[in-house]
Amino acid sequence: MLAELRITSLGVIDEVDVVFGQGLTAVTGETGAGKTMLMGAVDLLLGGRADPSIVRPGAAEAIVEGRFVVGDEEVVLRRVVPADGRSRSYVDGRLETAASLAEHGRRLVDLHGQHAHQRLLAAAAQRDALDRFGAVDLGPLAETDRELATVDAELAALGGDEQVRAREIDLLRFQVSELDAAGLVDAGEDDRLAAEEALLGDAVAHREAALEALALLDGDGPASDSLGAALAELGGRSPFGSQVDRLAGLVAELGDLAGELRRVAEGLEEDPVRLAAVSERRRLLAELRRKYGEHLASVMEYHAEAAAHLAGLEDHEAIAATLDARRTAAVAARAAAAATVRAARIRAAPVLAARIQEHLRSLAMATATVEVTVDGEDGAEVVLCLSPNSGTPMLPVARVASGGELARTMLAVGLVLTASPPVQVFDEVDAGVGGAAANRIGEALAELAGDRQVLVVTHLAQVAAYADQQLVVVKTDDGRNTVATVAALDGEERVVELSRMLSGSPESDTAHGHAEELLQAARGHGS
């Protein structure tokens, strides 16, 4: 429900804070008092057009805030309209687009009036209303639509141009063949080959260096001679025992080192054939990196991806045949589901039309006739049509109805359908009616308010009497400023306002008595 509405600097309203109750709330007041401003404020919260001209003269901006309570949740919508510049929209204190504000508003409020947003005038909303009324099962149709979308996406990804696919297969075959022939199995191969190439390319120099070192270290070389001489000089001298041991160790280590050098030197042989093979392999790897990736790892990754893609393209015919069969089955399933939905919609359409028409007959539209047309493969083209008077053509409701007729049509639809936004707002629903018809409109609004909140702007006491809460809009003019205020009425205040609505004179004893009778009758109807 709309729990609270705060308006600042909007038209004739300076500052108003209205607290709403559950059930039916009637908004009354003299013509031109500012009731339209209240409807305009609600429309702004629903994303309606924000005209800077609505800002109160002298004010920098107009502000409208609405606090909605639905179950345990609370939502605050806010619209700020500057005197110059673009409006700003907020949802729970967060800056949002007007479209986002409207989306939140549509879930909370239906606003019915001559100049207000009309949710049910949209083709999709009329179709949804028929589906809800007829309990149309859309699940199978939605499932077939999803299957068709999936198959079509897979076919599109598969590609349909045979020439393009043939060229791609030829290229991939060449690339995969080239990479297969390379036999890449290790991303570190190039590093190892680089080390081997450096070794083979300088084998002679390496061996000569080793032999020179051996000449210095092995046998009678200078190093061996020097160590032997030092050991002989110190041997047997007690002060140098530890040093003698160390020298002896160096002699042994030098012998081992010389042996290792000899073995390495003997293994260093020139191998021009191997060197050429290593160099050629490195050139091949460099070419592959140039074509397919910066590193061997990325080349190997491309190889795997290209092979998989090639396999998919080469299996194209089989895959395409499978997808074509799936699509044929999905099309047939959709046609069957669409036929079922269409039949259900066609069955429900005249029943819905009859129910709406029945309510309209008691809402001062005694000669109105209603038709719900269904067209299209799945019956998706649903149009609510209305002939408001005898002899008038049957036309879509958006084209034929006046403000009051449209509001009453929306009221009738609301009475038929159980699912709708929790807040229903009606303006001019009682336009051009009176007497028993006005009473019936009041009864219908009260009936609708049994499981949701209903706000109605009315000039008829017969309608206002059925309200659980009555608000009066009063405009005062001190010669310098015009200001509208909103007050909740209770007890005698309400009787006085109903008297004014009945006779134009709140002091009329006759009108006073009639007002009390209306309230009594309305309370009796509710019980």
Q: What does the pLDDT look like over 235-257, one tens digit per residue? A: 767 676 677 678 777 777 777 77
Whole-number percent of the chain with pLDDT over 70: 85
Amino acid code (one letter) for 103: E
Lowest mean pLDDT among 137-151, 312-326, 457-471: 312-326
Residue 418 pLDDT class (50, 70, 90 cuts):
low
Whole-number percent of the chain with pLDDT over 90: 34
Model pLDDT, residue 220: 60
Tens of pLDDT along 402-413?
Answer: 666 777 787 788
Tens of pLDDT along 352-367?
Answer: 999 999 888 877 788 9
Q: Mean of the pLDDT values across residues 476-488?
A: 85
Name residues whose C-beta falls within 8 Å of residue 278's C-beta, 6 or more positions apart in sequence: 193, 196, 197, 200
Model pLDDT, residue 116: 47
Q: Mean of the pLDDT values across residues 200-208?
A: 63
Question: What is the widest separation between alpha-carbon atoms in the chain?
Answer: 148
Sequence-distant contacts of 321-330: CB under 8 A, at least 24 apart: 323/151, 323/154, 323/155, 323/158, 324/155, 326/147, 326/151, 327/148, 327/151, 327/152, 327/155, 330/144, 330/147, 330/148, 330/151
Q: Mean of the pLDDT values across residues 192-210?
A: 68
Query: Are the C-beta atoms of 105 and 405 separated by less than 8 Å?
Result: no
Model pLDDT, residue 518: 87
Give the residue among 85, 142, 21, 127 at the shortest CA–CA distance from 449.
21
Q: Mean of the pLDDT values across residues 93-113?
A: 86
Which run of H or of E encompasses 370?
A: strand 369-375
Tens of pLDDT along 159-172?
Answer: 666 777 788 889 99
Model pLDDT, residue 280: 85
Query: Are the C-beta atoms of 43 and 427 separated by less than 8 Å?
Result: no
Flag whether pLDDT at 270 surpasses 70. Answer: no
Flag whether pLDDT at 396 surpasses 50. Answer: yes
Tens of pLDDT along 500-525?
Answer: 988 877 777 888 888 888 888 888 76
Domains and CATH numbers, the chain: 2-114+417-526 (3.40.50.300), 162-316 (no CATH)
Model pLDDT, residue 197: 73
User: Measured in whole angstroms, how far is the alpha carbon of residue 46 from the centre of its chain?
Assistant: 19
Query: Are the C-beta atoms of 126 and 384 separated by less than 8 Å?
Result: yes
Model pLDDT, residue 316: 78
Query: Could you please report the per-residue DSSP string of 190-252?
Result: HHHHHHHHHHHHTHHHHHHHHHHHHHHHSTT-HHHHHHHHHHHHHTT-GGGHHHHHHHHHHHH
Residue scoring higher pLDDT (276 or 3): 3
Residue 117 pLDDT class (50, 70, 90 cuts):
very low
Average per-residue pLDDT in the chain? 84
Residue 273 pLDDT class (50, 70, 90 cuts):
confident
Q: How many residues does the chain have?
A: 527
Three-class DSSP category at 24 = strand
Q: Mean of the pLDDT values across residues 191-200?
A: 75
Flag whether pLDDT at 65 surpasses 90. Answer: yes
User: What is the rounded distance in angstroms from the CA atom of residue 159 to the CA atom of residue 404?
Assistant: 57
Residue scoring higher pLDDT (429 or 288): 288
Model pLDDT, residue 398: 73
